[in-house]
Each structure stands twice: as C-alpha cells, then as structure tokens.
Amino acid sequence: MISATASLIPVTIVTGFLGSGKTTLLSNLLKGSDLRRLAILVNEFGEVSIDGALLRTDDARENDRNDRHVEIHELNNGLVAYGEDDQFFPAMLAIRARRNHIDHVLIETSGLALPTAVMAALQSPALCGDFVLDATLAVVDTPLLLSGGFAAAQGESVAVLFERQLEYADIVVLNKIDDLDEPVLLQAETQVRNIAPDVRFLELAWGAKLDVRLTLGLRLHSASAGTRDPHHGPVRYTPTGDSQPPANQMRFDGHSHFGQPAHVHGLATHKHFHEHDPGWQSFVLRSGEPQQADKLRLALQQVVQCEPILRLKGFATANGEQLSKSQHLLVQGVRSRIKVGCLTGAGAEANPKAELVFIGYHPSRSRIVELLDRMTGTRWR
C-alpha cells in the first residue's frame, strides 16, 4: 500500500546567509544526482539572478556527459512565498503540472531570508496536496562564523537572522572548511550547537560537496519521521538511547513557540527584516567595456574597505592576452574576501558585459561607481 506522502513531491530548502556558498553546494549536488530529475528555484535579494546563470553553466557542462533533466526557475527580489509574491506559486504550480517529470524540488532562498516563508507556503491549500518538505539545510560560511563576523556585521538584525536560519534548519552544513583542522571544526560545531541545540544533523562539506544520499530523500517531515502532521516541521528532538523520535513532536516545534500558530512568528520576522529595515540595499552596476582581472579585484577590495558591502557577485568580459575570447570573469565577494577568476560555458556566453550585484547596509552607490571608474579605467553605471 502506498502511503499518503509517497505520492507527494519532496522539497528541500537550502538556506544560509549571504556568501555562505549555497549556489556552489547546489551546483555540486547537480553533478552527483544524475539519477534524479530536479527542479531548482533560485531566489535572490536583487533584480538580477547571478546564481541562476551559474547553475545553468554547470548544468550545461554536466549535460554534455549525462542524459538527465534539470529545471531552473529564477525568482528575484528575495520575497519568495509571500501571499503577494507573484512568482513563487506560479513556479510551483508549473512544477506540479509536470509532476511525472520531477523527482525532487530544491529551493535556494535569499541570503537575507528565513526558510519559514517557504515552509508556510508548502502547508498552504494550494501546495500541501502535491508537495512535502523533505528537509531544510542551512549552509554556513565556517570561517566567518569562527571569526565572529556575524556578530560584528552591520546592523543587529544580521546576527539575529543568522541565528534564526540555524534554528529553523534540520541540517546545518559547515562549508568552506578545506583549510581548517579538526580542533577548529569541533569549535565551529560547538558554536552551532550553542546557537541551535535542536539541529538534527551537522554535515561537513569538503570542497562544497555533500553526498546526495545524505541530502535528498531524507523524509524528515513525512509521517514516517514521527510527525503528527506530515507537512509540519521542522521535527526537533534531542537524540537519546531510543532511536525513535518522540510520538508528540509539537512541543519541540520551533515555529509554534510562545503560543503562536505554526510559522507565524518566523514569517513575520522575515517580512519585518525586508520591509522595516530599509538600510539593506541591493543594486546592480554594469559596464560595457572589458575588464582586467587584477584591476577589477583591486578596485572591489577598495570598495569593500570604504563601503559596508557584505556580498557582491557577478560576471565581466575578460580583457588581457592571457585570456581567450571565449572566457569571461566570475566575481565573488564575501566582505573582504574577493575572488575574480575565469568562467567558461553557457552562463559566461550569456553575459557578454560586466554586471555586478552589490548587497550591503546603507552603501553609497555613487561612491562605488566613482571607485570602479577610477581604479579600473572603465565606465560603470
């Protein structure tokens, strides 16, 4: 006999603060899940989806070697799953219409978002009959965690948001750990447990890679996981000698605390963060001229020293004899860590001009334009 949840499409939510490495992790999951037909929703805080282009580039490379199917849906402005959102529900309903061709849905939330808005949407009458939450993953920039960067970031809301992302996760993924030794990793795990003691699992992502068997198809929110409501989550309990979860999970549910209905608190927090803290800004700067990698990197390093930028990313046309015409530059920045490297493939060809997304707290757009113009010797607008 087939259970009620067996016919539902499982959904994995991938959350994590700006620059934690969610897109890289998803890209590597694509490479390791060629037996699954996936639909991926990418939600970004800004008008341009850089992450969607990166995923398409990597997926195009993998399709050269594998006969598989991946759908990528881009949702901008970081407000996924609100009642007034005009992209999320249509995208999910389109996936539902193709349910015979989809095995699993992955939703990458904005770095300035809580996963609770998506959780609430999955429980709505429009979606609960077709989708079920499989698990929520919170990806962590481990070096930033260890350095106390979240507590020191602009605005008290940053630290609060980061802690909430961990609290609402089933699995916390320690990312960017390749240069860290075991004692330091144990320290990071302790910090996570102090913030969110009820997290089910901690995973180490060496090279931003996770075993797909430990990531997809976990069924942590299905009836078989011991939940009263198969759509309600996350399931929270402290492991004991008994390997079975408690029969009554409701008192461990992180969303219905303080006597509020499930998810109301988290959803309100998410909306408050975006709508009542106007200091958070996202904007795009473009240049029609090719860029030299070294000059661009130095210019961006100067930008983050002068302006409160937490995250920047984008593409640029490569300039220099060492690069072929088919190559473009990929720009990634998390606070003071700036990387400018070569990018090849479909995603690069689709972005022939320079296009950079900046996310920060009260940044000066005009000051950033002035710095880029002067230090790169090209014009930005």
- Taking only the tens place, the pLDDT of each residue in 259-317 is 333 333 334 444 444 444 556 677 889 999 999 999 999 999 999 888 888 788 888 88
Cα gap 72→55, rounded to integer Å: 8
Residues 18-67: pLDDT tens digits? 889 998 898 888 887 767 889 998 876 544 455 556 565 554 455 544 44
DSSP state of 318: B
pLDDT at residue number 263: 35
pLDDT attached to residue 324: 53
Residue 114 near residue 17, CB atoms below 8 Å = no
What is the set of domains in the chain, with CATH numbers?
Answer: 9-275 (3.40.50.300), 280-376 (3.30.1220.10)
Give the pLDDT confidence score for residue 259 in this predicted structure.
32
The pTM (predicted TM-score) of the whole model is 0.70
Return the residue matching tokens 């700006």. Answer: 18
DSSP 132-201: EEEEEEEEEEHHHHHTTHHHHSSSHHHHHHHHHHHHT-SEEEEES-TT--HHHHHHHHHHHHHH-TT-SE
40 close to 11: Cβ distance less than 8 angstroms: no
What pLDDT is stored for residue 44 in this prediction?
64
Distance in angstroms (rounded) separating the CA atoms of residues 211 and 26: 12
Please list the ranges in the chain whose pLDDT falls under 70: 1-6, 34, 44-68, 76-85, 151-156, 222-280, 320-326, 344-352
Residue 258's pLDDT is what? 29
Best CA proximity match to 70, nearest among 357, 346, 353, 344 = 346
Burial degree of 87 (CB within 10 A; 0-12, 13-18, 19+): middle
